[in-house]
Every structure is written in C-alpha cells, then in structure tokens.
Amino acid sequence: MEPAIALNPLPLHATGILEINTKAIAHNYNTMRALLQGSICAAVLKANAYGFGANAVARTLAQEGCEHFFVAHLEEGLELRHILKSAHIYVLSGLLPGTADLFVEHALTPILNDYGMAREWARRGRKLPCGLHFDTGMHRNGFDKADTAQLFDSIDVLDALDVQFVMSHLVSSHDSKDPLNKQQKDLFDTIRKRFPEAKASLADTGGVYLRSDYHYDIARVGKGLFGLFPPPHNEAPLLACAKLLGRILQVRTASCGESVGYGATHTLMRDSKLATIGIGFADGFDRRLQNSQAEIHGHKALVVGRISMDYTVIDVTDVPEALCEVGAWAELVNETLTLDALATSIGTISRELSTGFGDRLHRVYV
C-alpha cells in the first residue's frame, strides 16, 4: 500500500513512515471544543505532541483557532514558541532554578507547583502571569497541603503574583463512576474560592466527558486530539489520526517446523512465505507486539517471531505475491489496527506506544 500524498516528499530510502492525518486532529479538536460550550479548549502538546510532531500539530490547531497550549517542560515551550508567536504557552513543570529569565524572555507562563516556585516568581520585581497547580489527589505535581498553607499565609507572595488560573489534575477522569472525581472536584472548589478573580482548570480529555461542571474555564485536551481516547457511546466519535507503515525489505520462504527470530519463539506450522519489514522496536514498534497483525492492501499478515531493533517479520503466505514485493508497504497501525487496540493487547496504554515512535520514522502529514 502506497502512503497517501504527503505535505513533505518521501525519501526513496525511507523504511518506516508515521503518517499523521491533520484533518482528523482538527476534527477531534473541534468535536471536543463543541462539548465545552464556551470554555477554552487548550491543547496539550507535551512529549512532541504525544509523538505525532508538535510543530505540525501546533500549526494545524492554530489554524482551527486554538490559542492556548500546554507543554510539560521548558525546553518544549521554547521550541513551541518558535512556531506560535502570539499563543499562550503554559509549562506544567514550572520553574527550575535559574530558568525564570527564560520564561520572561520568551513570554512563557509557568505553572507553579510549590511554594519555592511561587516565591521565586514573586521576586521578579513586577507582577508576572502564572498558573497555580494544587494537588487534589494525584500526588505528583502541585502544591501539597503544607505548601498550600504556606502560600495562603504569605500575603506578600500572593500579592506579587498575577495568577491567571488555578488548576488541578484528575486521577480517574476516564471512569465517570469513580468517586475520586467528585472528591477532587470538591477539594478544588474549596481551594479556588481563595482566587475569585482567576480562571479555573480541572478537566483533561476524560474530564471533558464528565458533567459540564467539571469544565470550568479551561480544559486541557491531550490524548483526545489524536483519537487516543474512547468517548462514551452516546458521544460523537474521535478519529484515529495515525498510520504506521514499514517497507518490505526482503521476502523469503521457510519450511514447516522451522523457527523465526531471536530465541526461536515462533515455530512455523506450515511452509511459509515471510517478509522482513524495516521497522523494529527502535522505531517504537513495541517488542511485545509479537503475534499482532499487519495489513497489506486489506490482507492480514501475522507478525511472527520476536520484533528486533530494526526489523519485524510478517507471514505473507496468504497475501497475493504481487502485493508483497520488495519495496511495498505494510501497515502496522491504521484505522482498524489502532494504537488503543494494540496497547490493550499488551497491557499498556496507547500513549506509551505513540510517544515511543522513533526519530528514524519519516513523519508525513496528509
């Protein structure tokens, strides 16, 4: 199967392609924005936009009217600022020692996670915008109880901050029946009363599908942008945005009873035709995906033997010979072989797979 026409030309030497459908990303953004009914739909583009390419995704979303973007680390914010000259860019990890000047120089807004960060930001000599992250149950980032009490007792620090919004992070937003959602919301409501002029942000992708009172002023949408979240059945579907394709490098035959790959973990049950494709675990095709499937023009081909660093072997015995010649393409991820389904099959989550896509893959945007 030939890759779709891409915005970037495909090198003749390419052996692996990550094809990203920007129309699907735009659809997902607008679908979730409609659910928010006026609340800001901010895009979370951390980890290189979940592995799909922050620069291209940012441009796509900006064209759809997105003006608010979240990243995890300062380095990501600096890179994104080169693309988005006037957007609001928030850095979730906040300040590391000595980095405050970079935030100011590049008009990045830190999310302050503890009292030390708040005090450092307050010392800048003028009020500068920031967000405040309060931990309501994740116990990862954010003001804990002791830091929260210290902040509330430090009127001089609070007065020196331009608090744009307060935020927290839901633990189990993917499960609408989990009582932790309400416990966190109740605690968040108590905290935000101390900041009546500031906006509020609690919902991630899963939180958008909770009741509208979880939406507040800003929702932080990440995995949903890429169709990596199954909405409730009564909601509009999100579209998968990615295909992973590997080029066939060699086709060989092997006899019934022979083994394939490292450790001889797969034994052939018939005389077989095998194709070696130029993608391996170094490209993000997880080693645990042995026994998954590939597709060649709709024909199924089983992944056989252990996936190695640079190569994957598929059984093309039942694929017409003309479709699996050297140079042809096999799909390892597509609309039916989804990242969510592959992740479930090996007991992980789709974001672990997507963020593992390696630099050798040629990302093309269609």
Q: Which residues are catalytic?
A: 46, 262
Q: Which residues pair with 201 in a beta bridge?
A: 167, 218
Assigned token pair, 161: 């901050």
**Helices of type H across the chain:** 22-36, 46-50, 54-63, 74-83, 100-105, 115-122, 145-153, 155-159, 179-192, 205-208, 339-345, 350-354
Tracing tokens 């007991």 back to the chain, one arrives at 347
In the chain, which ranges are E strands? 16-20, 40-44, 68-71, 88-91, 109-112, 128-133, 161-167, 199-201, 218-221, 242-254, 259-260, 266-267, 272-277, 293-296, 299-303, 312-315, 329-333, 362-365
Measured between alpha carbons, how far is 214 from 301 in angstroms, rounded to an integer? 44
Measured between alpha carbons, how far is 259 from 198 in angstroms, rounded to an integer? 63
Measured between alpha carbons, how far is 99 from 118 in angstroms, rounded to an integer? 13
Nearest to 363 by CA among 28, 48, 75: 48
Tracing tokens 């942008």 back to the chain, one arrives at 225
Measured between alpha carbons, how far is 239 from 62 in angstroms, rounded to an integer? 19
- Helices 54-63, 22-36: axis angle to 10 degrees equals 50
